[in-house]
Amino acid sequence: MGDHPRRPFGGQSRRGVSRARQKRVSQLTERLDRLRALRATGRRAAESEGEKVEFRSDAELAAAVSDLERQIAAQAGKPPARVVYINSSKGT
């Protein structure tokens, strides 16, 4: 097996993985900023890098923003958001 310890992630060092992750988060953040700006203008269509994207509704655009936020949180290693439901009643 050799004298070298086995590296995780297919032979890449952890430093290389974190750089790749940082680059991915940076790209996702840029896309998120563009979508938020698009939503703020009230438009539903945009063109980026020669590719045109049109959302059918504001709800679809909001879902895309939410999905990007989830992806960024996952790449950053944050746990997913949890929903807590509270049920209360007057005692009888």
Q: Looking at the domain assignment, is residue 87 inside a domain?
A: no
Q: Looking at the domain assignment, is residue 52 inside a domain?
A: yes
Structure tokens given for 9: 């992630």
Q: How far apart are CA 23 and CA 16, in angstroms?
A: 11
Which domain does 28 fall in, by range?
Answer: 14-75
Split into its structural domains, the chain has a count of: 1
- The pLDDT of residue 61 is 92
When pLDDT is cut at 50, 70 and 90, the band that residue 65 belongs to is: very high
Q: Looking at the domain assignment, is residue 8 inside a domain?
A: no
Q: How far apart are CA 33 and CA 74, in angstroms?
A: 17
Q: Looking at the domain assignment, is residue 37 inside a domain?
A: yes
Average per-residue pLDDT for the chain: 80
pTM summary value: 0.62
